[in-house]
Structure 1
Amino acid sequence: MHPIVEKKWTGYTLLELMIVVAIASILVTLAVPSFQRSAVKAREATLKQNLATLRTVLDQHYADQGIYPQTLEALVEAGYLRQIPVDPFTKDSTSWRLVFEENADDAEPGGIFDVHSGSDLAALDGTHYSEW
């Protein structure tokens, strides 16, 4: 005689798998906006740092030379910067909005005394990056 062998099925039911997938999708749905906000905050911090660096270097150039530079490339050529920083929102180092000083006499053009982001996007606080 053969003994009766009881076969036991192992594994998960479809209902258990659906519950796990539902819970995982809820967690992902909650995490994605937080991650995206963190990424924007990081880019905003990078933009603030890049703007502070450029403004400091412009002031250093003015203190050393007595005039503001005509281009950002002049800062690299003079050794004030290794390279022009990249705007983290436009992902380009040539998109900076340059603010030139105004001279009383238009015989000699003024140099760059301030920079702003080239992005038209709004920051998390509602201001535009181009106003920073």
Structure 2
Amino acid sequence: MTPQKQNRGFTLIELLVVLAIVATLLSIVAPRYVHQTDRAKEAALKANLSALRRVLDEYYGDMGEYPENLLALTERHYLRALPVDPMTNRSDSWVPVQGTDEDDKTVVDVKSGARGKALDGTEYNSW
């Protein structure tokens, strides 16, 4: 009698157990990953808004008045380019806030043009 070769491989049960373990790990990790990217976008939005507001203040300090539009910040080399709003992935979605007087058409502040709510429940366009 000759010895028979044993087939080396995984049984169906072993494969199902491994797939169940992988699925369980993914169900734990995937939601955390999604929230991390949202948190990173929100942090980038806050940083970009802070930079734009700082540049508006610098422009006012140098010129004695606020700019007529946001493009004036790049034309006068206060910024190389307008930053990208990470929520809309566009640099032209910023919403300029004009002065309080009816005659005042200058940009005194800037808001995000993104729709939706942040993780803390506030609207993006209220930041």
- RMSD (CA atoms): 1.1
SS of equivalent to 1:15: helix
Corresponding residue number in structure 2 for 1:18: 16
- The answer for the alignment partner of 2:105 in structure 1 is 110
CA positional deviation for 1:5: 2.0
Unaligned runs of 5+ in 1: none
Residue by residue, what CA displacement relative to the aligned partner does 1:53-72 show, whole Å, maximum 9, x if unpaired?
Answer: 00000000000001100111
Partner of residue 29 from structure 1, selected from 20, 23, 27: 27
Quick one: distance in 2 between partners of 1:11 and 1:110?
75
Question: TM-score normalised to the size of structure 2?
Answer: 0.95
Local SS of the residue matching 2:34: helix
Kindly tell me the number of residue pairs found equivalent between the two proteins: 127
Candidates 63, 87, 90, aligned match of 1:89: 87
- Select the structure of larger CA radius of gyration: 1
What is the identity percentage for the equivalent residue pairs of Structure 1 and Structure 2? 44
1:29: how far off?
Answer: 1.3
Encode CA deviations 1:5-50: one digit per residue, 9 max, x unaligned.
2321211100000110111011111111100000000000000000
- Give the C-alpha shift of residue 97 in structure 1: 1.2
Structure 2: which 5+ runs fail to align? none
Q: Which amino acid aligns with 2:5?
A: K
8 A contact 1:68–1:110 mirrored in 2: no
List structure 1 segments (4+ residues) > 6 angstroms apart after TM superposition.
none
Q: What's the TM-score once normalised by structure 1's chain length?
A: 0.92
